[in-house]
Amino acid sequence: MTLPIIHANREAWQHACVDELRSFFSSRGYTLPAEIRVACGYPTNAKRSGFKVLGECIPNTNSADGHWEIYISPILSDPSKVTETLVAQLCRTAKGAYAVTNVAYAKVAEALHILPDGLVSNPYKEVTHGSAFDMAYQDIIDSLGVYPHGKVDISIHKSQGTRMLLAKCPTCQCSIRMTSKWVYNAHGDVELPTCRCGDTFALA
């Protein structure tokens, strides 16, 4: 099925999704706060986790104007996975359910068809969904039209090259790496140590 383009950008799609989800949450006994912002962006610990963290919910107590701030990773482009991640983060706005390791969160997540996919010690650190989720949310997802976003390829995030300077002994070719702090003296002149063979190292 080819979906129409309804929303101009990702955030418009995400906010429309939240609006559609409000009645669904209410029917399960949970009321979403009025003050919710959603944006496409890397969660604060995404890089540290190897970009495995796909969503983040920052509590309203951390917001200057009292909003819950939710971020959905730009790695995601599949609208079902985007919705899954969004629902999983919205579950954290329920009273007492902010911490994903507590029983309250598990209760809300189960009611909203979010399944744990993490370690035994923290099962909801990563989530997934099954057929019950698809049956419950597919009509909502389709009604939003195309998710206007292209998946971001994290493989282009190359590691920063080393800042260590290479020095070699001209006699025995022994090599060492040193930071600039230890290569240059207070006057800015190169000052390298003596090699075991007796010669002085030189920058390669």
The tens digit of pLDDT for each residue in 172-196 reads: 999 998 888 888 887 778 889 999 9
Q: How far is Cα 147 from Cα 11, in angstroms, rounded to an integer?
A: 10
Q: Where are the alpha helices (DSSP H) in the chain?
A: 10-27, 79-90, 103-111, 131-143, 180-183
Question: pTM score, two decimals?
Answer: 0.75
What pLDDT is stored for residue 159 in this prediction? 52
Please name the amino acid found at residue 149: H
pLDDT tens sequence across 6-61: 999 999 999 999 999 999 999 999 999 999 999 999 998 887 778 889 999 999 99
pLDDT digits (tens, 9 = 90+) for 129-156: 999 999 999 999 999 999 999 999 887 6
Q: What per-residue confidence (pLDDT) applies to 183?
A: 86
